[in-house]
């Protein structure tokens, strides 16, 4: 009685095996045809094509390795900073009472973290967004529109967004003396460098060929920021750690995070295709990178604006802010899913990340309201 059932399942597995074999044959056929064509060519053409193939394989190997290896990635990186002034630095401040301090003769933690985040993006890791194979995409399709090899690039752009926003505020408010229009040149140079487009390419004659200047510009931003900090330590410039500047800085960060949260919300509502939403992963990792960057920057802000935070009683709020960042940065799913909020099979990672971003933003808004009183 079991023979018909056994025969039935045997035939099913045979059909499955033939189907798999056919699919593999279809995939391998172009390569087999190319191999036969290659063996029939002359040695000069073989040498040229062989060299091109070796270069292409090398480029893809390098590209794949850099997209998968996240060197020195550490969601708790901000805890390693102490922000203590160097021995014998002799910090000097111009006391402004409850409104804060104009500080000099000491390094800024915000500037330190911003420079270190750029270093993390372009020196400790390769800048993915301007790599030639990232620019070429997957058979002409932008990598951001595929589920492959774009997570690190999106994360780096998120981190860099936090650095860009910080550089703007350093130039416009924090690095100026109140009542003057003078802009510090190092901070201005840093802002110009980090605002350079992350994907720009150009062709040059010396040397000839395509070039991607983005990482080079960002490296000059590191130099400019660290030069400002060195000058600050030498008492040559000031850091305006006043309450009104902190209020503006916090407000700008809250707006920046709110904009990203809105992008996550729109993506979640209009493209909730679960694991098949090809944009969900880069949206998620951009938001994650942005929080990653702001976590360290706001950790440093607590030190740079210590007088204001202590005077206004913002310590508990800042502790809560730290906890919210830590909770958000613990979310690291292997595969990003943009499912329905009431779905039970495919999770909604974008909604979850959006929720944590709004918690951070809400806390920042509360900090701003205390500063406005």
Enter the tokens of residue 359. Answer: 């918690």
The pLDDT score that the predictor gives to residue 372 is 87
Q: Using one digit for the tens of pLDDT, what is the confidence trace for 178-192?
A: 655 678 899 999 999
Q: Which residue has tokens 């707006």?
A: 255
Higher-confidence position of 227 and 87: 227
State mean pLDDT over 110-117: 97
Q: In this model, does residue 98 exceed pLDDT 50?
A: no
81 with 296: CB under 8 angstroms?
A: yes
Q: 27-31, 258-262, 343-347 — which is least confidently predicted?
A: 343-347
Higher-confidence position of 205 and 93: 93
Higher-confidence position of 120 and 89: 120
The pLDDT score that the predictor gives to residue 49 is 76
State mean pLDDT over 63-79: 92
Distance CA 315, CA 319 (A): 6
In this prediction, residue 53 has a pLDDT band, given cuts at 50, 70 and 90, of confident
State mean pLDDT over 108-123: 96
Distance CA 158, CA 29 (A): 41
Residue 255: CB atoms within 10 A of its CB come to 13
Higher-confidence position of 128 and 29: 128
Q: In this model, does residue 349 exceed pLDDT 90?
A: no
Of all residues in the chain, what percent carry a pLDDT higher than 70?
84
Q: 24-33, 149-158, 358-367 — which is least confidently predicted?
A: 24-33
Q: In this model, does residue 278 exceed pLDDT 90?
A: no
Q: In this model, does residue 96 exceed pLDDT 60?
A: no
State mean pLDDT over 41-57: 78
The pLDDT score that the predictor gives to residue 139 is 73
pTM (predicted TM-score): 0.84
Distance CA 310, CA 290 (A): 27
The pLDDT score that the predictor gives to residue 179 is 57
Q: Using one digit for the tens of pLDDT, what is the confidence trace for 282-312?
A: 899 999 999 999 999 999 999 999 999 999 9
Q: Which residue has tokens 């959006």?
A: 354
In this prediction, residue 59 has a pLDDT band, given cuts at 50, 70 and 90, of confident
In this prediction, residue 88 has a pLDDT band, given cuts at 50, 70 and 90, of very low
Q: In this model, does residue 97 exceed pLDDT 60?
A: no
Cα 260 to Cα 22, 101, 127, 368, distances in angstroms: 45, 32, 21, 19
Of all residues in the chain, what percent carry a pLDDT higher than 90?
46
The pLDDT score that the predictor gives to residue 22 is 79
Q: Which of 123, 93, 91 has its CA nearest to residue 106?
A: 91
Buried/exposed 313-337: b ≥16 CB within 10 Å, e otherwise? ebeebbeebbebbeebbebeeeebb
Enter the tokens of residue 219. Answer: 């490296």
Q: 261-270, 313-322, 326-335 — which is least confidently predicted?
A: 261-270
In this prediction, residue 208 has a pLDDT band, given cuts at 50, 70 and 90, of low
Give me the chain's average pLDDT, please.
84
């Amino acid at each position: 009685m079991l023979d018909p059932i056994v025969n039935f399942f045997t035939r099913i597995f045979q059909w499955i095996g033939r189907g798999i074999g056919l699919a593999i044959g279809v995939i391998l056929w172009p390569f087999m045809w190319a191999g036969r064509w290659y063996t029939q060519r002359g040695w000069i053409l073989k040498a040229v094509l062989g060299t091109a193939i070796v270069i292409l394989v090398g480029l893809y190997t390098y590209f794949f390795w850099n997209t998968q290896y996240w060197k020195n990635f550490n969601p708790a990186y901000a805890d390693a900073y102490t922000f203590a002034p160097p021995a014998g630095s002799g910090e000097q401040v111009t006391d402004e009472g409850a409104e804060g301090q104009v500080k000099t003769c000491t390094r800024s933690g915000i500037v330190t973290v911003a420079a270190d985040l750029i270093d993390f993006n372009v020196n400790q890791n390769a800048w993915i967004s301007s790599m030639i194979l990232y620019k070429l995409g997957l058979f002409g399709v932008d990598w951001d529109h595929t589920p492959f090899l774009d997570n690190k690039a999106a994360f780096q752009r998120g981190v860099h967004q936090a650095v860009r926003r910080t550089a703007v505020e350093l130039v416009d408010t924090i690095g100026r003396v109140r009542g003057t229009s003078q802009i510090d040149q190092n901070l201005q140079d840093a802002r110009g460098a980090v605002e350079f487009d992350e994907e720009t390419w150009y062709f040059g004659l010396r040397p000839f060929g395509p070039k991607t200047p983005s990482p080079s510009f960002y490296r000059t931003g590191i130099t400019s920021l660290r030069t400002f900090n060195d000058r600050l330590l030498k008492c040559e410039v000031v850091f305006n750690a006043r309450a009104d500047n902190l209020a503006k800085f916090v407000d700008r960060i809250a707006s920046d995070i709110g904009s990203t949260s809105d992008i996550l919300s729109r993506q979640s509502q209009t493209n909730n295709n679960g694991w098949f939403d090809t944009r969900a992963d880069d949206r998620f990792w951009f938001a994650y990178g942005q929080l990653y960057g702001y976590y360290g920057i706001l950790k440093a802000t607590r030190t740079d604006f210590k007088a204001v935070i202590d005077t206004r009683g913002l310590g508990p709020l800042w502790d809560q802010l730290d906890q919210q960042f830590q909770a958000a940065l613990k979310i690291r799913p292997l595969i990003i899913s943009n499912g329905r909020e009431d779905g039970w099979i495919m999770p909604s990672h974008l909604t979850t990340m959006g929720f944590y971003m709004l918690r951070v933003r809400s806390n920042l808004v509360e900090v701003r309201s205390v500063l406005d009183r």
